[in-house]
Every structure is written in C-alpha cells, then in structure tokens.
Structure 1
C-alpha cells in the first residue's frame, strides 16, 4: 500500500504528497501564495480532507457544514491563469480546471477562485464556475 510519504501529490506538482500539500493540510506550514492554497484545496478534495477545506475558507463565506461526496474522485488539476496572489499581495485569483470521476461518469469543472490574505494567511473566498466543454 502506498503511504502519504511516497504518494504523488494530487495537486500536480510532481512532488510527493508528504512534501507538498500534506504539511499544509496538517497545519505544519502555510500556503505562500493563492495558487499554492488553491492547489492544497484541490488535494484536500482528492484525499477527502473536509476539515482543511473549512479551515482554509474565509469566515465570511465558509459554509456551516461541508460534506464531501465519497463517490467523486478528483484526479487532475490544470491551473490555467493566476492574477495577484503572490507573496506581497493581499488578494488574488486562480483559474483552474479540475477533473473528476464517479460511478455515474466523468467530467470537469472550471472556476475562477478568489483568495485573500490576512492574519490567518491565504484563504479561499469564493469562485465563479465557468462552463466546460
């Protein structure tokens, strides 16, 4: 069985999960950019870490509860564009396409996500879904 230490990170960095997004999920390290936070959130969807998704969601838009669909497997992330969100910014956007599979089929979702950085570091605010096809 492949453990977290050797499994490739779902975010697409090419690094092992243990060196990439797992330290963010565990609270051992903070995301340095909006893109890094977005990639770590995708990885959290892929590994089923709803607690991290809630912690990395801005309080102004965070849902009271978050239940992930166990039948959906998120398997690929393509970052399409970024604006702001760097080490010296307080806001940024990341456009991405995320690919999924389920017993009912497969598909993708495309979104432009908004992020802000404050006392809690980078946090996801919301996103605008874009049609795929």
Structure 2
C-alpha cells in the first residue's frame, strides 16, 4: 500500500492523484487507529490469559475495544486479500524479486489477520466463561449468609 502511495508522487496536481492521496491517507490513518485500539484491547485483556487466575472480580473490558480489535483484524484481512488477489490474478508481477517479497509480507499479514480473528473470538469466550465462574462463586459464597 505504501509502495503505491509513494510511487504516485509524479503528478501531484492531477485531481485523480489528489483523490488517491486522500483515500490512502484515510486508509492508513484508519489502519493505524484500529491497530492501536486492538493493541490496547490486548493489553487490557491480558490478565485473562493466565491459567492460575484467582477467582476475583476484574474490571470489565469495554466493548468498544473488542469491536475495534475485530474491525482492525477485518481491515488487515481485507487489505491483504486485495493485494493477494492482485498477485493471483496477474495484476502484480510476482516474478520480480521486490514484488515477491511484498507478496510474502502480504501473505504474512493475511495469516496474522486470520489468526488474530480466531484468537479474539477465543479470548472473548474465555472472558465470558471467567465472568460466569466468578458470578457463580460469589453466589455460592453468599448462600447461608444472612443479609441484615
């Protein structure tokens, strides 16, 4: 994506070029924003990865972090799919060594996006199960306790 962005600087006065720059800047900005939000989601939810969690209430992970993480992975999946399709259908000459390296990086980004989507789904299930377990333990602990 950045190769195309920096390669189109020959005629910056052309309206099509200006439109292309605007689209690329918005696309890159969106990718950076969603990537930062996904990273924040993983930092916040890191405590749920431990197998030896004490059964205590933890602060809930805000839903917008989860949504941004999923959107980030979908964004990278769509971008990488677009470039992979360009290589598969012959729009990109992957016989060139520079294009082949770019193609391999794009393949890695595609695998990362698929793996991250699966990992985010598994983590969401783990958080939901942990919250159920903590709630159940709290309910069991309050049985027999008289409330005044």
TM-score, normalising length: structure 1? 0.28
Structure with greater proportional strand content: 1
Larger-gyration structure (1/2): 2
Greater RCO (Cα-Cα under 8 Å, separation 6 or more): 2
- Bigger helix fraction: 2
